[in-house]
């Protein structure tokens, strides 16, 4: 005759009680007393310290260590590698001593003599200000066309000349950036075309006499000169050939409101401006 489910469960319970009695486990006998369903504890499945036995010698111990600590090891190694890369980059990179601003119709950063232009400005710069062993100059260039220049280009295209048309949307964005930079004073040493210079409100640039101690005879007003009137540009005419003739050289005042141009950066720009203005060909 087949056992019912209840009879089978009672049989299992009695068999387990008999086994527990033989092993002397009183706690198991209490757990499986009549009227109670079998309850298993997760503690029964755990290995206690005295039951753990590492096999395989050193290899086994390493395998056990890796099993429990592999993510700690991986994260630690990744952190060490990252720090090492950062240190190498910091030690290998040099920073710029000065960044000047160019705004005008020339694609300055794409001309063949662009790097030479930066080098001659770095040469005339009085010193290596950041102490990294190299005098470095960079340029923040904005390519902007006046309305007159845009009209002239359109007329040239209509006449049959194979020339690229100016992108007026990008031109407008560059002009907006120029006005913002003039307001913030982020760059102090400036090379800008005359029409852009005329757009800037009075009182933005340093007076030549305050900066140099004199006003050059060729100054266009109290604040600026044409770059091509300086001995510096004349002595490096081939290098500066891509810069339009009506490009103005001037020094932006330090903005005390936004503090974008720090005291140190403005000092470097001022000393470089003075060096350019006082340049003599015999010094080259």
pLDDT tens profile 138-151: 999 999 999 999 99
Say yes or no: 88 and 107 in one domain: no
Say yes or no: 241 and 217 in one domain: yes
Look at residue 33 and give its three-state secondary structure: coil
Phi, psi values for residue 103, rounded to 5°: -135, 120
pLDDT tens profile 191-215: 999 999 998 877 799 999 999 999 9
Say yes or no: 142 and 267 in one domain: yes
| pLDDT for 176 beyond 50 | yes
**E strand or H helix that includes residue 85:** helix 57-92
Say yes or no: 225 and 166 in one domain: yes
Instruction: Report pLDDT for 278.
Output: 95
189: containing domain: 98-283
Contact 220, 273 (CB under 8 A): no
Residue 138 in any domain: the answer is yes
Instruction: Report pLDDT for 230.
Output: 96
pTM beyond 0.75:
no
Residue 112 in any domain: the answer is yes
Residue 173 in any domain: the answer is yes
Say yes or no: 218 and 80 in one domain: no
| pLDDT for 108 beyond 70 | yes
Q: Which two tokens stand for residue 73?
A: 């090891």
Q: Which two tokens stand for residue 150?
A: 């845009």
Instruction: Report pLDDT for 279.
Output: 94
Q: Confidence class of residue 232 from pLDDT cuts 50, 70 and 90?
A: very high
The mean pLDDT value for 27-36 works out to 51
Q: What percent of the chain has pLDDT over 90?
A: 45
- Measure the CA–CA gap between 125 and 104, rounded to whole angstroms: 23
- Measure the CA–CA gap between 241 and 117, rounded to whole angstroms: 10
Instruction: Report pLDDT for 267.
Output: 93
For all residues of the chain together, what is the average pLDDT? 80
More confident of the two residues 78 and 251: 251
| pLDDT for 282 beyond 50 | yes
Say yes or no: 89 and 139 in one domain: no
Say yes or no: 86 and 122 in one domain: no
How do strand 137-143 and strand 98-104 relate by DSSP bridges? parallel
| pLDDT for 181 beyond 50 | yes
Say yes or no: 86 and 109 in one domain: no
- The radius of gyration of the chain from alpha carbons, rounded to an integer in Å, stands at 40
- Measure the CA–CA gap between 265 and 254, rounded to whole angstroms: 9
b/e per residue 72-103 (b: at least 16 CB within 10 A): eeeeeeeeeeeeeeeeeeeeeeeebbbbbbbb
Residue 50 in any domain: the answer is no
Boundary of a domain, candidates 45, 77, 93: 93
Residue 191 in any domain: the answer is yes
pLDDT tens profile 115-140: 999 999 999 999 999 888 899 999 99
b/e per residue 213-236 (b: at least 16 CB within 10 A): eebeeebbeebbbbbbbbebbebb
| pLDDT for 46 beyond 50 | no
Look at residue 260 and give its three-state secondary structure: coil
Residue 34 in any domain: the answer is no
Q: Confidence class of residue 67 from pLDDT cuts 50, 70 and 90?
A: confident
More confident of the two residues 76 and 27: 76
Q: Which two tokens stand for residue 110?
A: 């794409």
Say yes or no: 107 and 205 in one domain: yes
- Measure the CA–CA gap between 225 and 250, rounded to whole angstroms: 7
The length of the chain is 284
Q: Which two tokens stand for residue 263?
A: 């005291």
Instruction: Report pLDDT for 268.
Output: 94
Q: How many domains would you assign to the chain?
A: 2
Instruction: Report pLDDT for 256.
Output: 63
**E strand or H helix that includes residue 103:** strand 98-104
Contact 100, 137 (CB under 8 A): yes
Boundary of a domain, candidates 75, 93, 111: 93
Residue 122 in any domain: the answer is yes
């Amino acid at each position: 005759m087949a056992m019912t489910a209840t009879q089978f469960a009672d049989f299992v319970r009695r068999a387990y009680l008999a086994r527990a009695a033989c092993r002397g486990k009183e706690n198991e006998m209490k757990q499986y007393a009549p009227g109670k369903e079998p309850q298993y504890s997760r503690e029964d499945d755990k290995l206690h310290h005295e039951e753990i036995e590492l096999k395989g010698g050193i290899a086994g111990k390493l395998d056990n260590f890796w099993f429990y600590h592999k993510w700690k090891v991986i994260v630690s190694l990744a952190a060490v590698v990252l720090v090492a890369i950062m240190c190498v980059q910091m030690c290998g990179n040099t920073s710029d001593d000065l960044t000047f601003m160019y705004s005008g119709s020339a694609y300055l950063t794409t001309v063949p003599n662009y790097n030479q232009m930066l080098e001659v400005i770095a040469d005339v710069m009085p010193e290596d200000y950041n102490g990294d062993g190299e005098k470095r100059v960079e340029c923040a260039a904005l390519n902007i066309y006046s309305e007159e220049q845009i009209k002239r280009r359109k007329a040239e295209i209509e006449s049959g000349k194979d020339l690229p048309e100016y992108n007026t949307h990008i031109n407008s964005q560059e002009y907006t950036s120029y006005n913002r930079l003039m307001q913030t004073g982020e760059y102090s040493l400036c090379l800008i075309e005359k029409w852009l210079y005329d757009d800037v409100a009075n009182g933005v640039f340093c007076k030549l006499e305050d900066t140099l101690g004199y006003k050059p005879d060729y100054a266009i007003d109290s604040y600026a000169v044409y770059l091509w009137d300086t001995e510096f540009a004349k002595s490096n005419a081939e290098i500066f050939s891509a810069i339009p003739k009506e490009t103005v050289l001037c020094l932006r005042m330090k903005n005390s409101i936004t503090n974008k141009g720090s005291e140190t950066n403005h000092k470097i720009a001022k000393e470089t401006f003075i060096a350019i203005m006082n340049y003599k060909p015999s010094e080259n």
